[in-house]
Amino acid sequence: MLGNWTQHAFVDADDPGNAYKNSITCINVGYNYNKACWNDGYHISHHVRPAMHWTEHPTFFLKTLDQYASHQAIIFDGLDFGQVFFLLMHKRYSTLARHMVNLNGAFSSDTEAIALLRRRTIRITTPNTAELVY
């Protein structure tokens, strides 16, 4: 469950239903989610096209890079879901930002990338959840 929670730890409060903004993708990781676990690292594409066969995710990713960039999708290079979880729990946003893939210059700087990571990890409240106690 830690991995699944991490796959959805960064959510855009203004567009929470957007798969590019409520999921992450991890590529080039030591424990290779993509070779050993049916391309689980391509978690954004799993939600963009849920019925897509697991072997198609890398090609879909490469063909749709412009979509990822236009939505400022969070793609980590060299971090697996466990590492992302650990860094997030320790608020190591600068380390997370250094591992983000900056497609088409979607982020002007690490500072902008860090701000995006922080913005996508704030608590989202609605009138129905504002009074929930955590």
pLDDT for res 54 = 86
Token pair 């590529």 in the structure block, residue: 27
Q: Convert the pLDDT of each residue in 85-130 to its tens digit.
A: 999 999 999 999 999 999 999 999 999 999 999 999 999 887 776 5
Distance from C-alpha of 24 to C-alpha of 9, rounded to nearest angstrom? 8
* Residue 134, pLDDT above cutoff 60: no
Strand partners for 4: none
Q: What residue ranges do the domains of the chain occupy?
A: 2-119
Contacts 24+ apart (CB under 8 A), 100-106: 100/74, 100/75, 100/76, 101/27, 101/75, 101/76, 101/77, 103/65, 103/66, 103/68, 103/69, 103/73, 103/75, 104/65, 104/66, 104/69, 104/70, 106/69, 106/70, 106/72
Q: Convert the pLDDT of each residue in 3-49 to its tens digit.
A: 889 999 999 999 999 999 999 999 988 666 556 676 778 899 999 99
pLDDT for res 133 = 56
- Percentage of the chain beyond pLDDT 70 is 89
Is residue 103 a contact partner of residue 44, using CB atoms and an 8 Å limit?
Answer: no
The predicted model scores a pTM of 0.89
Average pLDDT, the chain: 90
Is residue 121 a contact partner of residue 5, using CB atoms and an 8 Å limit?
Answer: no
